[in-house]
Structure 1
Amino acid sequence: MRIVLVGPPGAGKGTQAAFLAENLSIPHISTGDLFRANISQGTPLGQKAQEYMRAGQLVPDEVTIGMAKDRMEEPDAAGGFLLDGFPRNIAQAQALDSFLTDKNQRLDAVLDLEVPEDEVVKRIAGRRICRSQSSHVFHVEYSAPKKDGVCDVCGGELYQRDDDREETVRKRLAVYHSETEPIIDHYKAQGLVTTISAIGEVGEVTARAMAALRPE
């Protein structure tokens, strides 16, 4: 199966992608992994990406698209893949469409993980990270430490990352709504989208996604 996973920050895409890919025996291809692999291996695309990142600039679509194409052409992806974080905008979605058409392939499904905006803010803004190298993660509501501001595991100080502050989360959501959300309509026009509620336990969300991919 060839699947695209879409959803706002905090929807649990990475977690669900890993479970779904394992259940379906297909590789999980995430944008973050693509960048890390290409940069660490010193590929031409990785070098280009690093130049932009060092300059504090956004990596152009053509670089991200090139990395994704290279990964989808690897042998383990011949029978399918699960894309997480790509495509991120209409230009990338159109590039993916063209790539698959050239290969006489097509997407089987686009899963849209749906979470109310206030829940996204609560999930992300409530995270607290331990300053120790172990970087244990807690949540002020869902998995609170026994002592406020102190890691249960090593006694280190817990802090809130700048990226997790509410104002930053809302900015990230605004970018998602303006840039990424339009790809849902793009794929709805192709009859590929199934919306999945991402509220509940991880296993419950995975079960909903698997039911959508393999209906009775």
Structure 2
Amino acid sequence: MRIVLVGPPGAGKGTQAAFLAGNLSVPHISTGDLFRANISQGTELGKQAKAYMDAGNLVPDEVTIGMAKDRMEQPDAEHGFLLDGFPRNVAQAKALDAMLQSADMKLDAVLDLEVPEDEVVKRIAGRRICRNDSAHVFHVTYSAPKQEGVCDVCGGELYQRDDDSEETVRTRLEVYHTQTEPIIDHYRAQGLVVTISALGKVDEVTERAMAALRGENAA
């Protein structure tokens, strides 16, 4: 299957993408991984992306599109893939349409993970990270440490990252609504959008998504 995964920050796209790709036996292709791989390998596209990023600028669509095209042409993606973070806007969606059409391929579905905005803010703004080891992550509501502000694992100080503040989260949501959300209408016009609730336990959301992709009732 060829699937695009879309949803606001905090919807759990990365987590769901990994589980869904495993269940569907297709590669999980994320924009973040594309950037890291191209930059670490020193590809021409990676050099271009790094130059923009080092200057504090957004990577242009054509660079991101080029990276995605190269990745989707790899042998492991021949029979399907799950795209996470690409396309990010309508221009990228149209470029993806053209890429697939030229290869005589098509998307099977665009899976839209739906989460209320207040829940997104609660999920992200409640995260606390250990200063000693960023792999130690807690949440003030869902997985609170035994002692407030102290890591259960190593005793390090827990803190809130600047980009996890409520103000920053709401800014990220506004960017999502303005830039990315319009691709849902773009794909809805093609009859590809399947919307599911991303509330609940991780495995519940995964099963809901798999059922929706099978064309079953995903309620």
Do Structure 1 and Structure 2 share a fold, with TM-score over 0.5? yes
Report the counterpart of residue 42 of structure 2 in structure 1.
Answer: 42
User: What is the RMSD of the two structures over their aligned residues, measured on CA atoms?
Assistant: 0.7
TM-score by length of 1: 0.99
- The 3-state SS of whatever aligns with 2:149 is coil
Other-structure match for 1:58: 58
Matching residue of 1:146: 146
Residue 86 of structure 1 corresponds to 86
Task: Quote the offset at 1:134 in angstroms.
Answer: 5.0
Tell me whether 143-152 or 126-135 shows the greater mean CA deviation: 126-135
Question: Which ranges of 4 or more aligned residues in structure 1 deviate by more than 3 Å?
Answer: none
Q: Gapped runs of 5+ residues in structure 2?
A: none
Q: Matches of 2:22 and 2:62 in 1, distance apart?
A: 29
Given residue 48 of structure 1, which amino acid in structure 2 is its aligned partner?
Answer: Q
Structure 1: stretches of 5+ with no match in the other structure: none
Where does 1:103-182 land on structure 2 (aligned, <5 Å)? 103-182=103-182
Residue 133 of structure 1: CA displacement?
A: 3.0
Mapped to 1, the partners of 2:182 and 2:49 lie a distance apart of 25
Give the distance between the partners of 1:90 and 1:196, measured in 2 at CA: 21
CA deviation digits over 1:117-136, x for unaligned, max 9?
00000000000000113530
C-alpha distance in 1, partners of 2:135/2:30?
A: 22
TM value normalised by structure 2: 0.98
1:2 and 1:79 map into 2 onto residues whose CA distance is 8
**1:9-38: CA deviation from partner (whole Å, max 9, x where unpaired):** 000000000000000000000000000000
1:112 aligned counterpart, secondary structure: strand
Aligned to 1:18: 18
